[in-house]
Amino acid sequence: MKTLVIGATGQVGHELARQIPSGLIATTRSGESPFAGVSCLALDVTDLDAISALIARVEPGLVVNASAYTAVDRAESEAELAFRVNAQAPESMARACADVGARFVHYSTDYVFDGDGREPYRPDDPTAPIGVYGRSKREGEERVLASGADAMILRTAWVYGLRGQNFLRTMLRLGGERDELRVVDDQIGSPTPAWLVAALTRELVARGAPAGIQHVIARGAVSWCGFARAIFDEATARGLLARAPRVEAIPSSEYPTPAKRPSYSVLDTSGLAALGIDVPAWRDALAETFMRDVGAGASALG
Ligand SMILES: NC(=O)c1ccc[n+]([C@@H]2O[C@H](COP(=O)([O-])OP(=O)(O)OC[C@H]3O[C@@H](n4cnc5c(N)ncnc54)[C@H](OP(=O)(O)O)[C@@H]3O)[C@@H](O)[C@H]2O)c1
């Protein structure tokens, strides 16, 4: 089966390209392939006609959309672009998939919830995004669900890895530069490595999981501050940092950002359990992330 991965330079897209053994066609904005030997086409997803034309031409059996506008703070001042990439583009992809009879996998976010809950959010719980990014992702979900495509929407959260732009890489860089860091302790979520998102996506597709919304995250929850401390424990144990900085817990009010973030955005994964799919605890997934590629771990400091 031909699998089209859209956005193969991103954290999740890159992992998908790495984990899909055969039949892979990737797209990147430039057309440059993420790996030697992977066939790759150029696609700017703001060009909605180009999306339909490319899917009609390739005729894939499966399309996975890993492209997204993910700059949560910048989205507050670039709403039009965020909605084009996160809502209109996925709708075009889903409609084109329906036309060629392809399955469609699209990713969404824990930020579709307002964070006022204190129990893990279930896929059908009411959404109430509190920022432009979350609103644009929610509109993407609605448009994909209404498209008539055989579409799975996988909500994930706090995605990180040893490449790309993410919290882990920022902590490793700052940890190498400073003796003390102040990190927000009143936002709770589930740090989820990109390799795990890709692996769970493959598992869901392989098991023929039903269309609709699924939650795809590592098990358990922690604050950004707790996550930072765990990153430094791992990095020092593996010799990637000579010593851990002191991490001071602060409230979000002491770290103002343009976009408000949910204070609690843990997602219920009983849908995965019902399909017999196990997910690792976030702390084990963090250790596994370092273990997978010690060389990449070292370069994460650069
Ligand atoms: N990161 C998180 O913490 C997080 C949390 C919850 C949910 N998610 C969701 O998970 C999915 C994957 O996120 P990620 O972290 O892997 O994202 P990412 O690393 O930010 O990658 C985004 C990808 O989208 C591509 N892209 C953006 N605008 C494009 C355009 N106009 N044309 C073509 N490509 C474009 C980027 O290409 P360039 O490299 O060319 O810019 C990049 O390949 C997304 O749906 C995201 O909303 C992420």
246-280 residue pLDDT tens: 999 999 999 999 999 999 999 999 999 999 999 99
DSSP, collapsed to helix, strand or coil, labels residue 12 as helix
Instruction: Determine how many CB atoms are found less than 10 A away from the CB of residue 172.
Output: 20
Q: Residue 288 pLDDT > 70, yes or no?
A: yes
**Quick check: is 260 in a domain?**
yes
Q: What's the pLDDT score for residue 294?
A: 59
Q: What's the pLDDT score for residue 254?
A: 95
**Quick check: is 244 in a domain?**
no
> Mean pLDDT across the stretch 185-208?
97
Q: Residue 190 pLDDT > 60, yes or no?
A: yes
Q: What's the pLDDT score for residue 202?
A: 97
Q: Which of 95, 94, 87, 85 is nearest to 47 (CA)?
A: 85
pLDDT tens-digit map of 220-254: 999 999 999 999 999 999 999 999 999 999 999 99
Q: Residue 181 pLDDT > 90, yes or no?
A: yes
**Residue 36's pLDDT band (cuts 50, 70, 90):** confident
**11 Cα: distance to centroid of ligand 1 (angstroms):** 7
**91 Cα: distance to centroid of ligand 1 (angstroms):** 16
| Exposure letters 77-103 (e unless 16+ CB within 10 A, then b) | ebeeebbbbbbbbbbbbbbbbeebebb
**Ligand 1: does its nearest atom lie under 6 Å from the Cβ of 164?**
yes
DSSP, collapsed to helix, strand or coil, labels residue 46 as coil
Q: Residue 297 pLDDT > 80, yes or no?
A: no
**Residue 164's pLDDT band (cuts 50, 70, 90):** confident
**Quick check: is 239 in a domain?**
no
**Quick check: is 233 in a domain?**
no
**Ligand 1: does its nearest atom lie under 6 Å from the Cβ of 260?**
no
pLDDT > 70: what percent of the chain?
97
Which H/E stretch holds residue 150?
A: strand 150-156
Q: What is the CATH number of the domain that holds 35?
A: 3.40.50.720
**Ligand 1: does its nearest atom lie under 6 Å from the Cβ of 13?**
yes
Gap between the Cα atoms of 23 and 16, Å rounded: 12
Q: What's the pLDDT score for residue 268?
A: 98
**246 Cα: distance to centroid of ligand 1 (angstroms):** 31
**Ligand 1: does its nearest atom lie under 6 Å from the Cβ of 168?**
no
Q: Which of 30, 165, 143 is nearest to 97 (CA)?
A: 143
**Ligand 1: does its nearest atom lie under 6 Å from the Cβ of 68?**
yes
Q: Residue 295 pLDDT > 60, yes or no?
A: no
- What range does the domain containing 260 cover? 3-224+252-299
**Quick check: is 165 in a domain?**
yes
Residues tagged active-site: 133
Q: What's the pLDDT score for residue 127?
A: 98
Q: Residue 151 pLDDT > 70, yes or no?
A: yes
**Ligand 1: does its nearest atom lie under 6 Å from the Cβ of 34?**
no
Q: Residue 21 pLDDT > 90, yes or no?
A: no
Q: How many domains does the chain have?
A: 1
**Quick check: is 242 in a domain?**
no
149: CB partners within 8 A, 6+ apart: 94, 95, 97, 98, 102, 104
**Ligand 1: does its nearest atom lie under 6 Å from the Cβ of 66?**
yes
**Quick check: is 289 in a domain?**
yes
Q: Whose CA is nearest to atom 39 of ligand 1?
A: 9
| Residue 237, phi then psi, degrees to nearest 5 | -60, -30
Mean pLDDT is lowest, of 27-36, 122-131, 260-269, for 27-36
**Quick check: is 148 in a domain?**
yes
> Mean pLDDT across the stretch 131-149?
98
Quickly list DSSP for 173-239.
HHHHH-SEEEEE-S-EE--EEHHHHHHHHHHHHHTTPPSEEEE---BS-EEHHHHHHHHHHHHHHTT
Q: Residue 301 pLDDT > 80, yes or no?
A: no
Q: Whose CA is nearest to atom 25 of ligand 1?
A: 67
Q: What is the 3-state secondary structure (H, E, C) of 55-82?
A: HHHHCCCEEEECCCCCCCCHHHHCHHHH
Q: Which of 18, 29, 92 to mutate to test the pocket of ligand 1 (most atoms within 8 A of CB)?
A: 29
Gap between the Cα atoms of 133 and 76, Å rounded: 7
> Angle, to 10 degrees, between the axis of helix 89-100 and the axis of helix 48-58?
30
Q: Residue 53 pLDDT > 50, yes or no?
A: yes
Give the number of the atom of ligand 1 that is nearest the alpha carbon of residue 11: 16
Q: Which of 15, 70, 85, 104 to mutate to test the pocket of ligand 1 (most atoms within 8 A of CB)?
A: 70
Give the number of the atom of ligand 1 that is nearest the alpha carbon of residue 43: 33
